Structure 1
């Protein structure tokens, strides 16, 4: 192992264990590796700049802004009302409502923690008020928020597509069926856990009196946004970046002139949240790119590929080991960082053994999705903790059934590539 590889293997984990911010740990490790390689400082700085100098990344802040405008403008409430009416008489219905609301909101925001914040701020207090155990309310919302990166459009999917040099539209299409399957499995899990914990059926005043059809008609403008985004992308009317801008304009017009709830203060808050989330995301992307460049120059992908190949040449066995590796890495590495660092390493490996990179993208994103719930870096856990005012440890104890459900879906996604590849192949036929 060279001195540069020693730095990559030791310095980054050490900095993370010491509590150094993710972007700083990535950047410092990258600069240290560049120094040992006798690379000029301008080379390292240019690598950081190149990390965000990518047109496709413009879609990320726009989708985040569209989701924030929806939340501030009242569109999210209509979505929740529809699912509440549809499942209002089922034991544990508010847990099911939370899962499906997260799944729908994910189709606009593309963000896991953002989905937890938007839906959880409404549903966690509501569940607690109607007698649901607080840990259940927090865990089901944290879990539902993970759908934000598997249901298209998804910010991590955009980044993966850019790195793996595959079509963003293909990766979006590949995530649709696995995302829907995961939403259904999680909703069923929420129902079973609710019965076991004694969660109550909604009170009469909690169930909407209007029919589902009436509520769908009233919420038609909110429901049309995912159709507009995905329909426009798959029909070729506009690119994913253009779709993100269309989503912002549409959400802005509907929230301001149809719902009439988006005043100057709410709009300012939506922009502020978008700036904060996007800024934090982009600096991680930039510093991760420097580290990924150093990893590539040190031929780490080739070495890992040879290591896996020495174990087996069977694609299924390799995917099994990669899943174990990704689940472990996800416990301590931030979502975007994991994709940027690991995709350049793993994509050449899986392509070499005949695995479709689009299919592997869904496997990678599904693993990262599970990482939102695994300590010590489970971001969704901390967002749900802030909303529910519960310690993270208490939420972790109640989240295991949902983790098992996610692992079951990961197994299906890994073993059945047609689940991911059917829709992309249909679009190209």
Structure 2
């Protein structure tokens, strides 16, 4: 092994274990590796600059802002009311409503923790008020929030598509069917868990909904319901690019929240922008610093070396994917979502393509693994967001989360074994263009 490879293997994990912020750990490791590679500071600085000099990255802060405006403007509440009316006759329905509401909100925000915060602040108190165990309420909300990165538009998918040099629209389309399948599986799991916990009351017709039919609720929420149709329909039809779609989403959410719902005042808008700046800024500095590390990894031909080593283990693509899945699940327990994609995608994408695996299909496998990582301690972000909202200690939420984790692992197995589950829709849409 070369000196640069030893630096990468030892320095980055050591810095992360010491608690150094992820962007600093990536940047310091990249600078050290570049120095041992014999490159000058101009190479390092230019690599960092090029990391964020990508037009497609503009979609991320715009989608985050659209989700924040939607939450602050009251659009989220109308969606929840519709699902309550639709499934209110089913015992234990509030858990199912939470999952379905998370699925819908995911189609705007593209953020896992953001989905938990938006839906959980409404649904967790409601579930507890109607006799659902607090750990169940927290766990079902944390799980529903994971759909935020698998159902398009998804910020991690945008990052992956840029790194893997594949179409963002193709990756979005590839995530739609697995995302819907996962939503159905999680709804069923929430129903079974609610019955086992004894939370089988029928509480959904709250006073504000009692005199309104489902049709009336849908008509009242028509502008909120149209937003994901506008975003995804525009992208898949070729009417506009993902970046343009994100800007359209912001403008549409802003107009509806301010002039239709009339709930978006200056203070709420300021909070939406502030949250967007904080999340986007933290993400972009990680992307920038990781670009240097990815450049060094490429120059050192590390992906090719790993590919040769894996060929000695097996030449069967399914076996390779099995080992990668195990590796990603372990990594996800201690590595943040975007960081995992940014660090691992440059290594794993050349590896899987060498074995004939479609990079779009692998992108969905990678995102699904990262989705599971939202619920696995010690880093599971959704667990901590849900814990803050519910007041339930993370330890108790973890004890209630296992059935959902098993459901997610089952869907991961299906996505891995059946590539067409991911690839059928992108192929269909390309044939129609």
Task: Quickly name the TM-score band, shorter chain normalised.
Answer: over 0.9
The structural deviation recorded for 1:170 is: 0.7
**What does residue 16 of structure 1 align with?**
16
Distance across 2 between alignment mates of 1:391 and 1:18: 25
The structural deviation recorded for 1:27 is: 1.4
**What does residue 375 of structure 1 align with?**
377
Checking the alignment, whether the CA contact within 8 Å between 1:107 and 1:152 is kept in structure 2 is yes
**What does residue 46 of structure 1 align with?**
46
Distance across 1 between alignment mates of 2:249 and 2:68: 11
The structural deviation recorded for 1:24 is: 1.5
**What does residue 289 of structure 1 align with?**
291
Determine whether 1:423 maps to 2:415: no
Question: Which of the residues 356, 359, 376 maps onto 1:357?
Answer: 359
**What does residue 198 of structure 2 align with?**
198
Distance across 2 between alignment mates of 1:198 and 1:257: 43
**What does residue 312 of structure 1 align with?**
314
The structural deviation recorded for 1:394 is: 1.7
Matches within 5 A, 1:214-363: 214-363=216-365
The structural deviation recorded for 1:12 is: 1.5
Checking the alignment, whether the CA contact within 8 Å between 2:94 and 2:204 is kept in structure 1 is no
Higher mean Cα deviation, 381-390 or 75-84? 381-390
Aligned length: 429
Higher mean Cα deviation, 168-177 or 29-38? 29-38
Distance across 1 between alignment mates of 2:62 and 2:407: 31
Distance across 2 between alignment mates of 1:421 and 1:411: 15
TM-score between both structures, scaled by the size of structure 2:
0.97
Distance across 2 between alignment mates of 1:170 and 1:319: 21
Higher mean Cα deviation, 92-101 or 203-212? 203-212
2:20 alignment partner, SS class: coil
Distance across 2 between alignment mates of 1:353 and 1:201: 51
Checking the alignment, whether the CA contact within 8 Å between 1:89 and 1:201 is kept in structure 2 is no
2:186 alignment partner, SS class: helix
The structural deviation recorded for 1:33 is: 1.3
TM-score between both structures, scaled by the size of structure 1:
0.98
The structural deviation recorded for 1:93 is: 0.9
Checking the alignment, whether the CA contact within 8 Å between 1:103 and 1:183 is kept in structure 2 is yes
Checking the alignment, whether the CA contact within 8 Å between 1:130 and 1:200 is kept in structure 2 is no
The structural deviation recorded for 1:354 is: 1.4
The structural deviation recorded for 1:205 is: 4.9
**What does residue 31 of structure 2 align with?**
31
Checking the alignment, whether the CA contact within 8 Å between 1:372 and 1:381 is kept in structure 2 is yes
Distance across 2 between alignment mates of 1:16 and 1:145: 26
Higher mean Cα deviation, 327-336 or 176-185? 327-336
The structural deviation recorded for 1:160 is: 0.8
Determine whether 1:167 maps to 2:175: no
Deviations 1:276-335 (A, max 9, x none): 111111111111222212222222111111121111111111111111111111111111
Matches within 5 A, 1:42-81: 42-81=42-81
Unpaired runs of 5+ residues, structure 1, are: none
The structural deviation recorded for 1:42 is: 2.3
Deviations 1:249-284 (A, max 9, x none): 000000000000000000001000000111111111
The structural deviation recorded for 1:45 is: 1.9
The structural deviation recorded for 1:203 is: 2.9
Distance across 2 between alignment mates of 1:205 and 1:160: 42
The structural deviation recorded for 1:204 is: 6.4
